[in-house]
Amino acid sequence: MSHRARQVRTLTAITLVLPIALTLAACSSSDSPGASGDVITIALEAPLTGGQASNGQDILRGAQLAVDEANAAGGVLGKQIVLIQADDKADAATGLTAAQGVVDGPAVAVIGPYNSSVGLKNLPVYISGQVVPVHMTSSDDTTGEGVTVQPKNSQISPVEVAYIEGLKATKVAMLVDPSTYTQGMADRLSKSLTRDGLTVTSAPITEGKKDYIAEVTAALAGDPDVVYVSTYFPEGALIAKALADARAKGSTAKCFMGLGNQDPAFIDGAGIPDSQGCVFSGVPTPDEFPTAAAYITAYTAKYSLPPGVWGVFAYDSVLVLLNAMKAANSTEYQPVLDALLHKTVDFPGATGPVTIDPATGNRPNVPVKILSVKTVTSGVFTVTQ
């Protein structure tokens, strides 16, 4: 079914969170697809199950909190908002199926996907299906495919380069997941460091192994000053443990984790002491955003959990989307996308003021920092520099 054909779809029951498979349809006329009767439907696509589910569930909770707050304040354009879920399991093929399900359903917009390898495949599906994407991917290869409030790898890489060169390092060993985002980050860093005279070696990391002792041992054989780990957190946590074991045996190589490892589940997997043996490139956690106090209070009260890293960006993604709908006085694809691009200027988000560059759809003022793990009791990421 095409997006335009959804003008005759509506929900037979209103629930604030519905799986895609349970979204129901009935024949009814509507002024706008996905804005049937008193309802505006938006989708949330993320890895809700699988190895990166802790990220995905935090993203879902952040988005749902924004929806609930908007509905409590009267909704948007006189309508309540329904959030439906699309689980891509951080897998590109699954993400294609999930995106097609969203396009064939009632949603006018989608928050997500999170993984760049997924977004490269399915963001074109959303765009051709006229579903506005407010994506959470960080690969520059997804620039121009909707908008994002998160950092792109061209914004992250200079921070990583400056940190490593500030250490006066001469040799860097990289352990790299060949996924789109993680490989792209490693390639950018390697190019910059090599240009500046550093020696860089790289070895691939296969997802899902029980340990990475052999890979770490091989990386350390060249006596690097820094081991840069461009993976996601399930693998990164195991690499951190192997690097900690090597330090206990005399290794002096510093552990530097790429942004894909920034998640509380990393600390759970590696343990706080071994996590503290690494620094991370990433974004401030909610407790380090002065503008996120209300978000933290509401999130903790609603879910009885401390907020994770990425849910606050999903929260802001929903808010800028709803603001664009208000500005456009519409839920139609082009007016909403135009408003996102041209009318998102210093929007007061939980992650600070949000501006979207109309030429790229990216956020030029996104914060990127070098992080560490706070203390042996809190296990929270904190800004180092």
Kindly provide the b/e burial profile for residues 325-353, where b requires at least 16 CB atoms within 10 angstroms of the residue's own CB. Answer: bebbebbbbebbbbbbbebbeebebbbbe
Q: Provide the percentage of residues in the chain whose pLDDT is more than 90.
A: 82
| Per-residue pLDDT tens digits for 42-98 | 999 999 999 899 999 999 999 999 999 999 999 999 999 999 999 999 999 999 999
The model's pLDDT over 88-128, given as tens digits with 9 standing for 90+, comes to 999 999 999 999 999 999 999 999 999 999 999 999 999 99
The architecture that CATH gives domain 4-151+290-354 is 3-Layer(aba) Sandwich (3.40)
Report whether pLDDT(35) > 70: no
Q: Establish whether domains 4-151+290-354 and 153-282+369-383 are of one fold.
A: yes
pLDDT at 19: 40
The pLDDT assigned to 351 comes to: 96
For the chain, domain boundaries: 4-151+290-354, 153-282+369-383
pLDDT attached to residue 4: 38
Burial class, 75, CB count within 10 angstroms (exposed 0-12 / middle 13-18 / buried 19+): middle
pLDDT of residue 20: 39
Q: Is 80 exceeded by the pLDDT of residue 310?
A: yes
Q: Cα-flanking dihedrals φ and ψ of residue 335, to 5°?
A: -60, -40
Hey, what's the torsion of the CAs at 205, 206, 211, 215, to 10 degrees?
-30
Check residue 13 and give its pLDDT.
Answer: 28
User: pLDDT tens for residues 191-212?
Assistant: 999 999 999 999 999 999 999 9
The mean pLDDT of the chain is: 90
pLDDT of residue 8 exceeding 90, the answer is no
What's domain 153-282+369-383's architecture? 3-Layer(aba) Sandwich (3.40)
- Residue 14 neighbours by CB distance under 10 Å: 12
Task: Give the lowest-confidence range in 5-14, 31-40, 133-142, 254-263.
Answer: 5-14
Count of other CB atoms within 10 angstroms of residue 135? 27
Lowest mean pLDDT across 162-166, 187-191, 265-269, 292-296? 265-269
The residues facing 172 across adjacent strands are 200, 226
d(Cα 191, Cα 273) in Å, to the nearest integer?
Answer: 32
Q: Using one digit for the tens of pLDDT, what is the confidence trace for 237-271?
A: 999 999 999 999 999 999 999 999 988 889 999 99
Q: pLDDT, tens digit, for every residue of 311-336?
A: 999 999 999 999 999 999 999 999 99
Taking residues 341-364, report their average pLDDT. Answer: 97
- Pairing type for strands 109-111 and 17-19 reads unpaired
Contacts 24+ apart (CB under 8 A), 269-274: 269/233, 269/234, 269/237, 269/238, 270/236, 270/237, 270/238, 270/240, 270/241, 270/244, 271/241, 272/373, 272/375, 272/376, 272/377, 272/379, 273/244, 273/376, 274/240, 274/241, 274/243, 274/244
pLDDT value at residue 21: 35
Question: Is the full-model pTM beyond 0.85?
Answer: no
